[in-house]
Each structure stands twice: as structure tokens, then as C-alpha cells.
Amino acid sequence: MENKKNALLLVTGILLIIGGAIGLIGSIIALLGARVAVVMFADQEGVGLLVFAAVLLLLSAIVSLVTGILGVVNAGKPNKANVLIIFGIVTALLSVLGNILTVVAGGQFSVLSLITGLIIPVLFLIGAFQSKKALNQGQIM
């Protein structure tokens, strides 16, 4: 008997892959820009924060991409739910950390930005918890 795939994990996984791929391209551009800033403005304030933000963006993009791939591959495997939950939490935490970094760097705190950055990871987590619940109940998803 074939396992039915968790549609929420599948859809959010695909969205995380798309977002991660776009973020990867953006973070590479940001890292190149940060490198130029270090060379040109090494003695000025804020350059270290710029480099940290670029590295955080790269890390976040990679984690989103990996989380999405794991979600798509394991959407029909409830026994992998714990791994998906861990990656979903890390993805959500990196989104929150990005918003905190924006405020620390002097930007405005945006509730809308925080909410939009958490929608997909939270939906992914809901799908992972559904999968775990199905495993615990002995159901096949």
C-alpha cells in the first residue's frame, strides 16, 4: 500500500525551494556587495553588520532550500516528521532573526514583514505536525 503524501508539506516545501533558490541568488549578490563595501569602507561603522547580514541571508537561503527539499521528498513519510519539525523551526527562527537584525541595523520594525516571513515556515510546521500525528495514531498519510 502506497503512502498518501501530505499536501501541505508538499506545497510549502515547493514554496520553500523557490524562495531558497531566489534567496541564494540574492545572498550571493549581497555577499559580493559586502565584500566591495569592506574593501572601500573598511574603517567605517556598520560594515561588519553588513557582512553579517549577508552571511545570515546566505545561511537562511540554504536552510530554506534544504527544508523545502526535505519536505517534498518526505511528504509521504510520516516517520521523518521529527526531522521536518526541526528544519521548520530553524527556518522560522532564521526569519525572526532577520527581522531582529533589520531593527538592530536601524531599520523599522514591520509586523507585516514578520508575519509574511513566518507564513510558509509555520504552514510547513503544521504539515510536519500533521504527519507526526498520523504516525503516532498509526495512520498512513
Residue 3 lies in a domain: no
Residue 103 lies in a domain: yes
Q: What is the pLDDT of residues 6-65, one digit of tens each?
A: 999 999 999 999 999 999 999 999 888 888 877 787 777 767 788 888 899 999 999 999
Residue 34 lies in a domain: yes
Q: What is the pLDDT of residues 107-141, one digit of tens each?
A: 788 888 888 889 999 999 999 999 999 888 875 54
Residue 112 lies in a domain: yes
pTM of the model: 0.85
Residue 50 lies in a domain: yes
Give the CA distances from residue 19 to residues 68, 102, 120, in Å, rounded to whole numbers and listed in that order: 9, 19, 10
Report which residue type is found at 71: G
**What residues make up the domain containing 83?**
12-136
Domain count of the fold of the chain: 1
Report which residue type is found at 125: L
Residue 52 lies in a domain: yes
Residue 4 lies in a domain: no
